[in-house]
Every structure is written in C-alpha cells, then in structure tokens.
Amino acid sequence: MSLDDLKALARPARTKVVLLVMDGVGGLPRAFDGKTELEAAQTPNLDALAAQGTLGLADPIAPGITPGSGPGHLGLFGYDPLQFRIGRGVLEAVGIDMAMTDRDLAARGNFCSVDAQGLITDRRAGRIPTDVCTRLCGLLEQIRIPGVDVIVRPVREHRFVVLFRGEGLEEELSETDPQEVGKPPLPVRAAVERARHAAEAANAFVAEARKILAAEHPANMVLLRGFSRYPKIPLLTEIYGVRAGVIAVYPMYRGLARLVGMEAVKTGDTVADEFGALEKAFGHFDFFFVHIKKTDSYGEDGSFDHKVHVIEEVDREFPRLLALKPDVILVTGDHSTPASFKAHSWHPVPVLLWSKWCRPDGADGFSERECRYGGLGHVRSAELMQLMMGYAERLTKFGA
C-alpha cells in the first residue's frame, strides 16, 4: 500500500508503539546443536511475549537480497527500500550526526597518496590516524568556491565527509576514485546538464585540495564518491501523525531515524541505558524506535556466544519495556548477521508482534523456527510499519 494511501487512512489515537530492533539478530544454526543465536539465548521474557503475540518472518528488501544498514532500517520504518534510496554520501553524513539541509550535496571522501605524476599509490593514504584526518579536514574547510559553502568533517582514519551547500547542486555525478592504483583521480563529470554546476564545484574543491595537501604525504590528495542529496522522504509525522523518538547509541541509526522525522532521545551506551532512556521519554512520543547495535557487531565478528549474550541482555531488560504498557510491541532485526557468516546476510528476520488484538500463535518461544509458523506469515519488512499502525488502531478502514 502506498504511503499516500496510508496517509489517507491515518487517524489520531493515543496508543503507543515500541519498535525494538536488535541489529542483525537473525542467525544460522551452530554445528553442535543446530540452534541459532536467538534459539541458543535464554530469553524467558521474549518467549513469554511470543506465546501471546503473533510471529512471522520478514524479508528486509526482497528474497535473497542482503541489505545494508540504510535500506534495512528504511524498510522497518515503512519505506520500500527499492523506491527510497539513500546515497552513500548522505549515509556517511548521517552516520556522523551531520545536520543536512535540502541545499546540500554530500560526498564520501578518502584521503589518498599520489606520486609526483599525480598517480595514485595508495587509495587510503596508509590509513592515517583519525587525528591527522581531523586536522586535514580543517585545512580543506578553508577552500572557497563562489556561491558554494564547503563543510568537511572527519569520519575515521582516512575517511571524511564533504557537504557542498548551495543552490542547484544536483547529484548526477561520476566519482573520482578510479578504484585502482597507478591511475590519476578522475575528474567529476555531470551525467546530465543540470548537474554541471555541481560538477564544477566538486572539481574546484578537488583542485584546491590537491594544492593544500601537497606537502601532507601520505595524505596528499582526496578521492570523492557517492555524491548524493538529502532524500525527499515523507516523514512519519506527516504520514501517520505520530510523534516518533529514536533511542540509539550509534549516530548512523539516529541519523537514519531523523531522515524520516524521528527525534533523538538522549541515551547512554549500554542496553540498560537505552531502556532507561525509553522509560524517561515514554510520555513524550507515540512511537519509539529502540536500536540495539551489538547483536550485529558480534555477528560480524563471528562471535556466536557474544551475540547470544547481547540478546540475553536485552531479554533481561525487557520487563522494563513491558512495565510501560505500550499498546504495540514489535521486536525484530533490520537484517540477519549470522555469526557463522560474519556479515550481513539475505536471510529473513524473525518478527514478534504483540498487542491486545493479536491472535496468539501459542509459540514455544521467539526464534526463527517458531516464526515460520506465525500468523503474520512471510512479509516484507516495509509492511511491518502498517501492521504496527493497524494493531495500534491508528488506521481507519479502507473504503466503505
């Protein structure tokens, strides 16, 4: 169903919804007992909720497709990731909590090394320390381009973000990274006429950067990629009329949530801190997105047991969420990150939805296995938002 259709159905309500995302929670069985991370974890609280709720499996993008963090979360927020695309420049900016405006064109930057002929000798400038990166970003920010403001921020090691702020800076641009050493950085080319102004600004920036960095070997040049404008996304407030808050330790997830109109809630770094932040903010919002990062981090590390421990930590804190008595709870992941696979994967994610209007599945617990038999069936992640809103009685009926 289109966002316009959903907007037409939205109606005011006093119900509260909590979307709890354990990043990369979906897993694969370990060898000795065939249990996934979620199945191996001792999760009495989630299991009890699963018995009363309705389960399902969700494909974040489409069957067989592995999502990045951006599309994975956009899907959970109800936006078809195939329709709403976020450029890598924007994602990088969002990831370091940079405030973007609709006059901004973002790019990912790398410091790199070039030789006397200007040919690239190291695309990552020997992974310079972050403090060097920070100092060099300060130098680059002195670049003046007529009619365009330049904002440069360090990310980590050799990586930075540059925002070009001005009128008519379109994003249809080629990248300067030739993706191999022994070649010179490429000029930025406009794929369409209307992007010519932006191409000129980017090329002017690169030319100035070359001069400014001349004596800074190994970081004596820059490469720019992923030119992208802040996407035009209808906000959750506009579509559903909900006031939405995000509780996330990592800035990228706060940034993604802000893209769709959520307000950031202050939180500490631990899972317990995040549940504490939820308690404090509970009166101020209708919709909460709580993001747990470390399930994914340990999945990527291949640490099955550590991922299990994070899930168990969430389960221990979970009664604090229940005590707030939200009307709808949805627990899921933005994608799977099986510890055995050590990376994001395409496997569908387990979904647990609870409200007083559920037809209980009577499940034994919350697991990929039980979710296969759930009453939600097999859905796309982008359909979960309308399910949450439906169960929260925030959508009126379609047609008479």
Residues that bind a second copy (CB under 8 A): 1-2, 5, 9, 28-29, 34, 36, 57, 61-72, 81-82, 85-86, 88, 91-92, 338, 341, 344-348, 357, 359-362, 368-369, 372-379, 383, 386-391, 395-400
CA–CA dist 40, 158 (Å, integer): 39
CA–CA dist 216, 199 (Å, integer): 25
Contact between 253 and 267 under an 8 Å Cβ cutoff? The reply is: no
**Helix or strand run (H / E) with residue 95:** helix 88-95
Residue among 72 and 218 whose Cβ is closer to a second copy:
72
Contact between 333 and 351 under an 8 Å Cβ cutoff? The reply is: no
CB 348 to a second copy: min, Å: 7
Residue with tokens 């991922």: 307
CA–CA dist 55, 67 (Å, integer): 21
Q: How far is CA 137 from the centre of its chain?
A: 25
CB 396 to a second copy: min, Å: 7
Residue among 79 and 318 whose Cβ is closer to a second copy:
79
Contact between 96 and 153 under an 8 Å Cβ cutoff? The reply is: yes
Q: Between β-strands 328-332 and 159-165, what pairing exists: parallel, antiparallel or unpaired?
A: unpaired
CB 109 to a second copy: min, Å: 15
CB 342 to a second copy: min, Å: 12
CA–CA dist 364, 47 (Å, integer): 7
CB 212 to a second copy: min, Å: 28
Residue among 117 and 396 whose Cβ is closer to a second copy:
396
Residue among 215 and 400 whose Cβ is closer to a second copy:
400
Q: How far is CA 193 from the centre of its chain?
A: 32
Per DSSP, the three-state class of 204 is helix
Residue among 91 and 222 whose Cβ is closer to a second copy:
91
CA–CA dist 185, 122 (Å, integer): 11
For 247, residues 6+ apart whose C-beta sits below 8 A from its C-beta are 265, 267, 274, 277, 278, 281, 288, 289, 290, 291
CB 106 to a second copy: min, Å: 12
CB 277 to a second copy: min, Å: 27
Tokens of 100: 């973007």
Contact between 113 and 221 under an 8 Å Cβ cutoff? The reply is: yes
CB 390 to a second copy: min, Å: 3
CB 358 to a second copy: min, Å: 8
CA–CA dist 400, 394 (Å, integer): 17
CA angle 68, 73, 76 (to 5 degrees): 135
Secondary structure (DSSP) of 342-393: TS-B-PPEEEEEEETT------SSSSHHHHTT-TTEEEEGGGHHHHHHHHTT
Residue among 65 and 207 whose Cβ is closer to a second copy:
65
Residue among 1 and 139 whose Cβ is closer to a second copy:
1
CB 283 to a second copy: min, Å: 26
Contact between 228 and 171 under an 8 Å Cβ cutoff? The reply is: yes
Residue among 74 and 105 whose Cβ is closer to a second copy:
74
CA–CA dist 244, 289 (Å, integer): 8
Residue among 69 and 220 whose Cβ is closer to a second copy:
69
CB 221 to a second copy: min, Å: 23
Residue among 40 and 219 whose Cβ is closer to a second copy:
40
Residue among 160 and 282 whose Cβ is closer to a second copy:
160
CA–CA dist 395, 291 (Å, integer): 25
